[in-house]
Structure 1
Amino acid sequence: MVLVSAVLQGENDTTSSEHVLGPNGGKRSYTLFQGHSGPVYSATFSPLGDFLLSSSADSTVRLWSTTMNANLVCYKGHNYPVWDVQFSPLGHYFASASHDRTARIWSMDRIQPLRIMAGHLSDVDCVQWHVNCNYIATGSSDKTVRLWDVQSGECVRIFIGHRSMVLSLAMSSDGRYMASGDEDGAIMMWDLSSGRCVTPLMGHTSCVWSLAFSCEGSLLASGSADCTVKLWDVTASTKVPRTEENKSGNTNRLRSLRTLPTKSSPVYALRFSRRNLLFAAGVLSKSV
């Protein structure tokens, strides 16, 4: 198993191979990428896994080669920390979100951004590509989600409903729905064609750091600072007629299937594999 890690320290663009002890005392190798001069807030692999992007408090995004184990490009354009970076589903292009209240579209072969999306009134905390690569969504500390046209750089829709900063976004595989999670633990699922909220709910007691749709889009997973992962039934919830919703008075139509608690680890990242295996990542603190 190879673990690729973007490290916080170091001015030089260097890599080194190191080893860590495995559970049975055996050594496992990993590659250490060094180059950022501040904390690394986000990392994303290209669709084929041959490149890695990392974003940092040093206001830069770095492109790394996982085959050559080297830093290829340092992208400078944001004026403040870059909270999130995401490769497009087709690769080559990527989007970044920053404390400077903008999101930017980049191409791997150009040092300057192709588009600058400005309009949010506070930090852009997260960014997510639509499956057709023609749109990106951004979540902000101004409590809104915006949908942007990649070609023009214009905002085409604003989603209003959250009561705290939006920290996570996910797009369904069919491109019909978007889920957003906020600091209060609320999750909202939106119909992109109409712009309305399909279902608002309070499933977590703390920040929703990560959201992920399963490959076929029937499940939504959410990871939170409350040290749990929750699985939601998307298919059943989106088929409930609005007349039934009005009769019952219940607007929480996203049915919870299971809650998976960790021992004491906040869940910061979720990802479904192509075989629909769910991977979760968090932080484990050990007292010395």
Structure 2
Amino acid sequence: MKPLSLKGHGRPITRVRVNQEGDILFSSGKDKHICVWYTENGERIGTYEGHTGVVWDVDVSWDTKTLVSASGDQHMMVWDVETGVQLNDSEVGSVVRSIGLSYSGNLAVLSTQKAISNRAGVFVQDLREFRTQNGQLHLYDLRQPNDAKDFSSPHNFPINELQKSVDETFLISSSKDKTAQLHDTRTLQQLKKYKSTRPVNSAAISPTRDHIILGGGEESVNVTMTSTSSGQFEAKLYHMIFEEEFARFKGHFGPINSITFDPTGDIVVSGGEDGYVRIQELDQSYKDFEFDIGVNT
């Protein structure tokens, strides 16, 4: 399959998400819209409209029935995936920067941005009725919601994004300090560090291989002052254990703002500052690749 470049947004992409079956993907953007696409052919199925500000994040339930969105308009919205009907609209009172759904699809966890009159916060909302600015990670036990513990400061600059492994044992953080770091989900202990030469906006863990993929590049304010090559807008593949980069591929004409694998680990979906969603099927050489660990026999 040739790479597909999908144009449905008028402004930069903020997040791409693939559903559990891998046949549908969702994208959100600074144009206030959420788009839904078929991953097989890139056909746009529809658009969810209702937000009046940047849609920073989206997540979809495991059964692909419910979609939630977080926006700069200070609202969290809940949608019926199939019909596009807005099921709920909750005003949070601060910019909502990230959102995620529980396995049951009944609970949504969202984080808000620090403002003059409001502290940054993490909230859980029951649908039936985290990213930080200081480079820290925080672990919350929902059984003791007032007890935030196990603080960690793995990054020297703001954390742009967090993603979990498919079995939820690992967490990967991406940061403006030009690194992505792998952590134990339960303890937040830093396990590995993947170094880049440009800010890392997004990083994902392969669901089927010991691989990590990074996306980022020169910050958007500097894009017009640099060439594509010097901006380093490629997606980069690293070995999860050995921390070494072994491949990269181009596609976006600007920083990659969001990147993820499909459930097979053979397809990468990315969203860029250029406003495009890109679907890249990794070729056979990648699937056959075995990392040389240098063991003498």
TM-score by length of 1: 0.68
Provide the rounded CA distance (Å) in 2 between the counterparts of 1:130 and 1:270. 21
Task: Give 1:82's aligned residue.
Answer: 55
Residue by residue over 1:46-94, the C-alpha shift from the partner in whole angstroms, topping out at 9 and shown as x without a partner, is 1111111111222111111223431111111111111111222332321
Select which of 183, 187, 195 maps to 1:232.
183
Q: Which runs of 5+ in 2 are unaligned?
A: 115-119, 219-228, 232-297
- Checking the alignment, whether the CA contact within 8 Å between 1:214 and 1:276 is kept in structure 2 is no
Shift in Å, 1:200: 1.2
- Checking the alignment, whether the CA contact within 8 Å between 1:51 and 1:63 is kept in structure 2 is yes
Provide the rounded CA distance (Å) in 2 between the counterparts of 1:82 and 1:61. 7
Task: Give 1:275's aligned residue.
Answer: 208
Shift in Å, 1:228: 1.0
Provide the rounded CA distance (Å) in 2 between the counterparts of 1:112 and 1:216. 31
Q: Which runs of 4+ in 1 moved over 4 A?
A: none
Provide the rounded CA distance (Å) in 2 between the counterparts of 1:30 and 1:255. 36
Provide the rounded CA distance (Å) in 1 between the counterparts of 2:102 and 2:74. 20
Select which of 207, 223, 234 maps to 2:174.
223
Q: Does 1:128 align with 2:105?
A: no
- Checking the alignment, whether the CA contact within 8 Å between 2:202 and 2:216 is kept in structure 1 is no
Shift in Å, 1:270: 2.7
Q: Does 1:208 align with 2:208?
A: no
Shift in Å, 1:280: 2.8
Which has more strand, going by share of residues? 1
Residues 1:190 and 1:107: Cα distance change in structure 2 (over 3 Å): same
Task: Give 2:191's aligned residue.
Answer: 257
Task: Give 1:147's aligned residue.
Answer: 124
Q: Does 1:199 align with 2:150?
A: yes
What's the % identity of the aligned pairs?
23
Q: Which amino acid aligns with 1:64?
A: W
For these two proteins, the number of residue pairs brought into alignment is 215
The CA RMSD over aligned residues, in Å, is: 2.1
Task: Give 2:293's aligned residue.
Answer: none
Task: Give 1:99's aligned residue.
Answer: 72
Shift in Å, 1:277: 3.2
Task: Give 1:245's aligned residue.
Answer: none
Residues 1:135 and 1:91: Cα distance change in structure 2 (over 3 Å): same
- Checking the alignment, whether the CA contact within 8 Å between 2:20 and 2:64 is kept in structure 1 is yes
Shift in Å, 1:146: 0.8
Provide the rounded CA distance (Å) in 1 between the counterparts of 2:167 and 2:24. 26
Provide the rounded CA distance (Å) in 2 between the counterparts of 1:268 and 1:231. 15
Q: Which has the larger radius of gyration?
A: 1
Provide the rounded CA distance (Å) in 2 between the counterparts of 1:122 and 1:44. 23
Shift in Å, 1:234: 4.0
Residue by residue over 1:107-151, the C-alpha shift from the partner in whole angstroms, topping out at 9 and shown as x without a partner, is 1222331111222x3211111112222101111113001101011
- Checking the alignment, whether the CA contact within 8 Å between 2:98 and 2:131 is kept in structure 1 is no
Q: Which amino acid aligns with 1:265?
A: R
Q: Which amino acid aligns with 1:281?
A: L
- Point out the more displaced range, 214-223 or 140-149: 214-223
Task: Give 1:161's aligned residue.
Answer: none
Shift in Å, 1:230: 1.8
SS in 1 for 2:86: coil
Q: Which amino acid aligns with 1:87?
A: V
SS in 2 for 1:287: helix
Provide the rounded CA distance (Å) in 2 between the counterparts of 1:134 and 1:125. 20
